[in-house]
Structure 1
Amino acid sequence: MDPHTPRTRHAGRKKSLALSTKEFTKVAGTIASARRSRNLEYGIDDERNGRDPSFIAETSFVKAPLNSRVPSHSYTTPRAHGKGKSREESLESVSLDIQEALILEDLLFVLMGIEGTHITFHPDYSVEDDDPIRGIKFAVSSALGNDYVRFILSELSGNDLPSIDPSLSDLVERILPLATYYTGITSFIEQRSHLEYGLVNHALCASIRDMLKDYQTLLSQLEHAFNTSPQFSLQKLWFYVHPTLHTLSLIYQLTTELASDANVDNLSSLSSDSDDARNEALGLGGAKLKAVLSDLKNPGLDAESNIPVKGGEVLSVIYDRMQNMSGDPAALTLYGSLLRAAGVPYVVMLQEWINSGKLHDPWEELCVKESKSITKGTLDMDYVDEYWDRRYTLRDGSTAGDSKRKTGMPTPRGGSSRLPGGACIPPVLEGWKHKILLAGKYLNVIRECGIGVTANHDTPVFDVDISMEDEKFYKSIEDAYSYANRTLLDMLLRDQQLLPRLRSLKRFFFMAQSFFVTHLLDQAQSELRKSSKTASVLKLQSLLDLALNTDLHGEDTMFREDVKVKMASHGLYDWLLKIISEKGAIGGEIGEGGITDSAHGVDGRRNKDEKPLMALAIDALTLDYQVKFPLSLVISRKTILQYQLMFRFLLHLKHAEQTLSSMWIEQKTSPWRASVQHPEFEKWRLRVFLLRSRMLAFVQQILAFVTFEVLEPNWRNLEVKLEKVTTVDQLLRDHSDFLDTCLKEAMLTSARLLSAYSRMITTCSTFAVYSAKFTASAVKGVAAADDPDGDPEMEKRWDFLYKFEKNFSHWFSKHLDCVQYYASSDNGSLLPLVMRLSSIKAG
């Protein structure tokens, strides 16, 4: 609401404000005679005071109003001359008309923040100690209390306190808050116009300053009326300023609330930001370098302890006041006007972000923030999807996937739940914040690909006429989000051939039964028996290329050059157990069911006295998949790592199946099939066949379960979701959920299941390694069958076999118990595995 200015009620009113020459001389003479009588009573003499007699001060307030504000020695020391009475005591001896004229004269200056003669600073006000944004408090003589109080205060101050007529004093007391409001608002404007308080504060101050121009115009009109109209009185002054008093009180309440939470004394630290901006403009580093170092030191935290009220927080405060005072039409209009004016730079920054993907927010006022230390160059080493998740984020810490989850949320203001600065999102934008974030993120990805961004909707990038109360503003957000999402989704699915890429990934990493894996294991058998440090990666890569060129067909041939051989630095199961023990298993699986693990400890880790074995090449072999930006957002290092875990798991199963199958082929030779008349040896030989058969059945059942009960159904569900996907974030979520589900249902996220399974697969692989030793022992057994003294090594054969049987039976039982427990407590995904394993006799 604009400050009120006096208006004439009828046509004749305007004529009364114009004085004739006679009336003007009468008014001027009355005020001048009061001044002269007061000066004579004070004993003011120009020559005696050492003043240049050639300078004659103009005593007429009408002709020279500021001369009455020039202090003289006699004013500052009223007891130095005259009769020992203060100058204000003359008000008691003058008429009520003269008192009113002098009070009016004072009020016109006090309303501009200038201390008057009879209206001075309140005794409780201190220029040094009080907050200037709280405004200056003024007081008149009647406001100081009764005669006894005035006497005590006069003795303490050394001056006699002024006294005016009570009828005038009561009216003045109603007007004086206007001076406090004006001085407080002016101080707020002067302080918040500094560069470091941001563009929103600047726009707010500019709007308030325009409103104060109307107030100053009102004072000019009142001063003109005072100087020209004999009928102008204190009552008329109150009549004209009364509407403005309400307006300035509303602005004053707003500025006081905005300044209440800010640390306004620490301007030196804030001014350093302006120096950073200047240095950055000169190419000397500055704000961006400081932001990068801040991200490296405290990732995820962007709110300082002394951050001023700026940006979205200012808009939130204005909006809340507008809603709380919606019953007051004047307040609703005023705050609505300030909200529109202050929101212009915020809306402009927002439009630039959602329409071009550029974030120009030098003072951190917008709800979106950028971590400058994270670039697309980090994607080659990004195992936590940091580029997509943390390059651009919301300052309030909420995430698009889960609005309840908070990451790096700054500390709220003391005594309230309001976040500081740009982290405070205006309430009208709370439901749109995720679309605002994603629209700019999508366009930024497109820009990073070197593709020009051109909005296809009617909203211009910089439309200052659009406010946050306009429906067109929210339609522009929806249009920008739809355009950015559709453009990036089409680019990923069509231009970058995402679906064929994912299908090739599935075949390369998940198809353990595919020909190229079998071909690779057969050709690289000798190399895979070596340790991981001595095996030749170049030779394995050439063998992989040969297998891919031989066995791949169709669209998979387009991506075979992206598959590379890689040697992992850690064993699969030890690495998974370490990750689970540090970060916890999914669903709180550790410690449930009371299942113990004596070999690996309670949490599945190795005992301290157990030395790590030298990893073979087959245990460290994995595949890598290389993609370029922007496909690396979907097929990121994190997702490739999950593909690698599943590939190594299936490769170990496939290798164990091959070795046990080779052992079966070897056991079809003559030493194992020869007819001997030795019941003990026959029994031993059958027990070896049975143990090998049970191990092979176990490996095949696990492999079949993972392949046909886990991977294939989940992949079909993913294909259905990808055909219906509508947003890029949904695409990323579906792909990530697919991998997480596959790892969980394949028993790679539970310490108990993984510990029991790793011991089982180690026992099977070790048994297959001793195939030659079992064959040599069988040859000796056949030869000793005809010896009348019997077979002296038969007992050793049984002891050796008993160790494998006991180990396998123990861990098989342990593994089956774990599977049954989780199948009953989980979602039932392990029930098919329970049926498969139950068919294998524990023996």
Structure 2
Amino acid sequence: MSKGELTRKVLSDLISESETPYTPDSILREFRATDDKRLSVDELVGILKTISQKRPNCDEVAAEVKQVLKSKDPMYALLVFVKRYSEDCLTPRSSLKNSEMATVTTPLQTKSSIGASSVPRTSLAEGSHDSLGLPTSTPVVNRKSDSGANAAGRSQGNREEDRELGDLSLMRERLLLGASNRSLSTFRPPPTEKSLKSSSQKTLVNPPSAPPPTGVPEESRTHSLWDFNDVDGNSALDPEIAALPIESQQNELLTQLLYCFTGIRVPCIVPIPPDPSGGLSSYKTEFAIHNQVDRSLAELVRKILPLASYFVGIQRMVADLDGQGQVINALNAALTDVSHDFYLLLMQAEDELERNELTMQKLVYYMQPTLWVMEEIWTTMFGLQQGELRGAAVLTHLHGRIKRLEGDREAQKVIIGLMGKAAEPYMRMLQLWIQKGVIVDRQQEFLVEDYEEVHCNQLPEHYSDGYWEKRYTLRRDHIPSFLEKYSDKILRTGKYLNVVRQCGKRVMPTQQMHLEYDPTSEQHVSVINEAYYFAARMLLDVLLAENDLMGHLQSVKRYLLLNQGDFTMQFMDACEDELSKNVDLVLPMTLENLLGLTLRISSARDDPYKDHLHCELLPYDLVTQMSKIIKEDNKEEYWQTQDRLDLSGLECFAFSYEVKWPVSLVLNHLAISKYQMLFRQLFYCKHVERQLCKIWKENSIAKKFSPQAAELYRSAFTLRQRMMNAIQNLEYYMMIEIIEPNWHIFIEKMQAVENVDNVLQLHQDFIDSCLKNCMLSESSHLNRAIFKLCKICLKFCDFIQLETSLDPADTFSERVKRFDLEFTGILISFLQKINIMAKKNTADRFINLVHRINYNGFYTDLMDKLCMKDALG
């Protein structure tokens, strides 16, 4: 006796016994009603208590059913009620015992209801009862639900707490079995001829077994669950189907089609074994229709059979892709919801079939839109499976499918729904990043990667140099196509918030954000933009207002670019003797003390950031430092100290400027090093100028000499004046024509800055422009020429100052001539190189220096001769 028949018989006997005005159908209707139409628990229990009032255990059974109704499915509660009385008077005990031996205990719970199902999907009652029907050899029984018309899987006398699994196959059975009193699983077709049996029946090799301790059978997560297995009860064969009237044949085919749609093998529609090579055949099934089926019916069946192939193929791919990341898992969950809707459609079709209102033409009409949608879902999923797409690549694939479905509204609507669900975990990560600057990405699917290696309170000396560029980077292959245009903005938003948070400030968005994928309104774009502007404004306020970035930049310019003239001269007066020593003999503490003294007696005493300035003795000269910083591939070498060369303190001296986070983000170690390069060149030229000024005193002494002796010194002092002219014009060019104009441009642009990236870019452009036009960038040969000019000037000064007595006239004059020839040769070569570079790049300002030094054309003829010489080889 089937479950439906047993339920009706028990209810009919109790109604007759109690003489109440109910019918089995009316009671079943009340227990199957949806949530909004269902009677209350007390009313349902009242009905059952009324029809069983003459039974001695009426109150005990009613109390048990009421307890079940509070947390379980009403249909299950009804089956508990029927079971209690079927055990008492309807079912022989021996029959029950044999039934128990043939069933498997599966204490499962179902997933919460989604959609307007006519059968509520709730968890099972605590307790165990004998199976009422569906054999365990079907694929769906592996994840069996004890609801409605299926209370199988409970062993008698045992009560244990249910586990909620909510698997798709479990829901498949619940929805199919709970739709009507004659569910698909109760169908038992009569036997057919042996010839039909060999072509249509496929039996399970392994006998059913109890689930593992977790309650989840191992095979339930593989796509073998969807391999069109035989169902006990379908193993019996049909009679000659051609002998049936056309209407009966149609009803038989409709019933079998409903089986086939859910992946169960039926006699008249046999799946063709797939190609063992895999590929497309692993997820697409072809069918053979029994040759005795009416031709017109067979044609209609062929039209709709692809729906079974697509649906089962989708379930196989879902099982294969399970656990491949958050995005895939979210997509699988969304496909489960689509499957629920498909089951509801099958329930409606089965309901019409029960009322003899369903024909094959109607079923084709009902299922045609679903067929198109399922085909699109199958195509989409197959693309994911074949491309082995994960994470953002899945979202890109789905986004592309949505665009290609313009015109197919229903299919596009379904893919948009899948896309929205699949994008939820990715959008949650994105929202957390742009709201708080935090990355939670255990599956490594997010577009931003954090390369943090040390904690903020353990920053190395030059940590800030690479922080902005290297700490957070984009994974280009992890960016969904619909976020590609905004990826840089997303990266900067989180970086800004990170800096703000590391400054000890709370990151509180101005308004609550909700980020989700919407291809029509693109609401996510406005959310990203709002978060970006909020983070940019917040960090700018922290840098410019709270930490006075511009004040620090003004101090750097004042000291490292020699903008504080009186301080520079007083410091050089105080430290000249100390810096003239070999670098290994210079005492840093002495320099620090002299610096502090000079700062407090000069006009710099009012500077609030003067204590950030310190003295530093670098282990290399300017040319070496420049080569280390300019070469990108040797950046690491910059931080490695080397043995000091035989250098003076003056050649190794530089100011350093120390700042704290977050100002160090802009004035980082590399930026300070570039400022030091400018300082060292300016400071060295200023020192040469001072030495040339000192020998002017010798010029005044020479006036007292005899005319013959004075004539000897005249050429020397003429050479001194030419040297002074070259050095002073070089200083003027660098400080007045390069640094000052670039500084004013930088300050003007800073007034309209919108984010920290603009600040960093403008500051870098300012420093690089100064370095380039001061001949401290790739034109290192010009810098070496300047260094040689300064060296020859210092040697000349030493020669004049150390000449204590007049040597023979020819000796002194010859030495002066040698200095003159050497200086003139270096200067002419220097000016010639500038002319050549100016012709190649007219944007550079080097040519201005030529006009300044050669203002009266004194060196023009010499340069022309040099050009002629070079041309002749």
Q: CA deviation at 1:524?
A: 1.8
Alignment correspondent of 1:356: 436
Alignment correspondent of 1:203: 330
Alignment correspondent of 1:476: 527
Listed one character per residue, the Cα deviations across residues 297-347 of structure 1 (whole Å, up to 9, x for unaligned) are: xxxxxxxxxxx421x332222222111211111122222222322233333
Alignment correspondent of 1:242: 368
Q: Aligned partners of 2:181, 2:750: CA distance in 1, in Å?
A: 92
Alignment correspondent of 2:551: 500
Listed one character per residue, the Cα deviations across residues 589-632 of structure 1 (whole Å, up to 9, x for unaligned) are: xxxxxxxxxxxxxxxxxxxxxx9961211011011111111111
Q: Aligned partners of 1:213, 1:690: CA distance in 2, in Å?
A: 100
Asked if residue 764 in structure 1 is aligned to residue 793 in structure 2, the reply is yes
Alignment correspondent of 1:832: 848
AA in 2 matched with 1:771:
I
Equivalent in 250, 258, 270 of residue 108 of structure 1: 258
- TM-score normalised to the size of structure 1? 0.69
Asked if residue 258 in structure 1 is aligned to residue 384 in structure 2, the reply is yes
Are the structure 2 counterparts of residues 168 and 685 from structure 1 closer, same or farther at C-alpha, using a change threshold of 3 Å? same
Are the structure 2 counterparts of residues 25 and 735 from structure 1 closer, same or farther at C-alpha, using a change threshold of 3 Å? closer
Equivalent in 784, 806, 815 of residue 821 of structure 2: 806
Q: Aligned partners of 2:532, 2:282: CA distance in 1, in Å?
A: 44
Are the structure 2 counterparts of residues 221 and 630 from structure 1 closer, same or farther at C-alpha, using a change threshold of 3 Å? same
Q: CA deviation at 1:379?
A: 6.0
Q: CA deviation at 1:205?
A: 1.9
Greater relative contact order (Cα < 8 A, sep 6+)? 1
CA contact (8 A) 2:419 2:517 kept: no
Are the structure 2 counterparts of residues 222 and 92 from structure 1 closer, same or farther at C-alpha, using a change threshold of 3 Å? same
Asked if residue 650 in structure 1 is aligned to residue 682 in structure 2, the reply is yes
CA contact (8 A) 2:373 2:410 kept: yes
Equivalent in 415, 418, 429 of residue 338 of structure 1: 418
Q: CA deviation at 1:766?
A: 2.6
Q: Aligned partners of 1:816, 1:179: CA distance in 2, in Å?
A: 85
Alignment correspondent of 1:546: 597
Worse-superposed segment, 117-126 or 489-498: 117-126
CA contact (8 A) 1:133 1:187 kept: no
Worse-superposed segment, 651-660 or 802-811: 802-811
Worse-superposed segment, 331-340 or 537-546: 331-340
Q: CA deviation at 1:636?
A: 1.3
Alignment correspondent of 2:233: 68
Q: Aligned partners of 1:385, 1:582: CA distance in 2, in Å?
A: 13
Are the structure 2 counterparts of residues 251 and 374 from structure 1 closer, same or farther at C-alpha, using a change threshold of 3 Å? farther
Alignment correspondent of 1:178: 307
CA contact (8 A) 1:100 1:234 kept: yes
Q: CA deviation at 1:368?
A: 2.7
Q: Residue 565 of structure 1 aligns to a residue in which SS? A: strand
Equivalent in 452, 472, 487 of residue 538 of structure 2: 487
Q: Aligned partners of 1:513, 1:67: CA distance in 2, in Å?
A: 97
- TM-score normalised to the size of structure 2? 0.67
Q: Residue 706 of structure 2 aligns to a residue in which SS? A: coil
Q: Aligned partners of 1:37, 1:664: CA distance in 2, in Å?
A: 127
Q: CA deviation at 1:677?
A: 5.7
Q: Aligned partners of 2:525, 2:314: CA distance in 1, in Å?
A: 33
Alignment correspondent of 2:95: none
Q: Aligned partners of 2:197, 2:650: CA distance in 1, in Å?
A: 109
CA contact (8 A) 1:379 1:636 kept: no
Q: CA deviation at 1:176?
A: 2.5
Are the structure 2 counterparts of residues 133 and 576 from structure 1 closer, same or farther at C-alpha, using a change threshold of 3 Å? farther
5+ residue gaps in structure 2? 1-113, 119-179, 199-229, 635-642, 863-873
AA in 2 matched with 1:222:
A
Tell me how large the CA RMSD over aligned residues is: 3.6
Q: CA deviation at 1:432?
A: 3.2
Asked if residue 213 in structure 1 is aligned to residue 340 in structure 2, the reply is yes
Alignment correspondent of 2:487: 433
CA contact (8 A) 1:576 1:748 kept: yes
AA in 2 matched with 1:252:
W
Are the structure 2 counterparts of residues 353 and 613 from structure 1 closer, same or farther at C-alpha, using a change threshold of 3 Å? closer
Asked if residue 707 in structure 1 is aligned to residue 758 in structure 2, the reply is no
CA contact (8 A) 1:512 1:650 kept: no
Alignment correspondent of 1:526: 577
Q: CA deviation at 1:255?
A: 1.0
Q: CA deviation at 1:93?
A: 7.3
Correspondences of 1:12-23 after superposition (within 5 Å)? none
Q: CA deviation at 1:497?
A: 1.4
Alignment correspondent of 2:395: 315
Q: CA deviation at 1:582?
A: 6.6
Q: Aligned partners of 1:524, 1:766: CA distance in 2, in Å?
A: 20
Alignment correspondent of 1:404: none
Q: Aligned partners of 1:764, 1:379: CA distance in 2, in Å?
A: 44
Q: Aligned partners of 1:474, 1:551: CA distance in 2, in Å?
A: 55
Q: CA deviation at 1:230?
A: 4.9
CA contact (8 A) 1:528 1:617 kept: yes
Listed one character per residue, the Cα deviations across residues 191-213 of structure 1 (whole Å, up to 9, x for unaligned) are: 3331x412x33322222210111
Asked if residue 138 in structure 1 is aligned to residue 188 in structure 2, the reply is no
Q: CA deviation at 1:40?
A: 11
Asked if residue 743 in structure 1 is aligned to residue 771 in structure 2, the reply is yes
Correspondences of 1:372-387 after superposition (within 5 Å)? 372-373=452-453, 376=456, 380-382=460-462, 385-387=465-467
CA contact (8 A) 1:119 1:138 kept: no
Q: Aligned partners of 2:454, 2:838: CA distance in 1, in Å?
A: 42
Listed one character per residue, the Cα deviations across residues 273-302 of structure 1 (whole Å, up to 9, x for unaligned) are: xxxxxxxxxxxxxxxxxxxxxxxxxxxxxx
Alignment correspondent of 1:514: 565
Correspondences of 1:162-173 after superposition (within 5 Å)? 166-173=295-302
Q: CA deviation at 1:565?
A: 0.9
Q: Aligned partners of 1:25, 1:553: CA distance in 2, in Å?
A: 96
CA contact (8 A) 1:512 1:654 kept: no
Q: CA deviation at 1:706?
A: 0.9
Correspondences of 1:80-159 after superposition (within 5 Å)? 100=250, 103-126=253-276, 129-131=277-279, 135-140=283-288
Q: CA deviation at 1:633?
A: 1.0
CA contact (8 A) 1:627 1:635 kept: yes
Alignment correspondent of 2:320: 191
Alignment correspondent of 1:38: 193
Q: Aligned partners of 2:680, 2:617: CA distance in 1, in Å?
A: 11
Listed one character per residue, the Cα deviations across residues 477-518 of structure 1 (whole Å, up to 9, x for unaligned) are: 333222222222122112111111111111011116622222
Q: Aligned partners of 1:25, 1:218: CA distance in 2, in Å?
A: 17
Listed one character per residue, the Cα deviations across residues 4-23 of structure 1 (whole Å, up to 9, x for unaligned) are: 999xxxxxxxxxxxxxxxxx
Q: Aligned partners of 1:795, 1:709: CA distance in 2, in Å?
A: 43
5+ residue gaps in structure 1? 7-23, 44-64, 72-86, 143-161, 263-307, 397-418, 585-610, 782-790
Give the length in aligned residue pairs.
642
CA contact (8 A) 1:120 1:140 kept: yes
Q: CA deviation at 1:655?
A: 0.9
Q: CA deviation at 1:225?
A: 4.4
Listed one character per residue, the Cα deviations across residues 717-759 of structure 1 (whole Å, up to 9, x for unaligned) are: 2222223323222222211111111111111111332232222
Alignment correspondent of 1:51: none
Q: Aligned partners of 1:89, 1:66: CA distance in 2, in Å?
A: 18
Are the structure 2 counterparts of residues 735 and 182 from structure 1 closer, same or farther at C-alpha, using a change threshold of 3 Å? same
Listed one character per residue, the Cα deviations across residues 21-44 of structure 1 (whole Å, up to 9, x for unaligned) are: xxx99999xx97x7245369989x
Asked if residue 639 in structure 1 is aligned to residue 671 in structure 2, the reply is yes
Q: CA deviation at 1:645?
A: 0.9
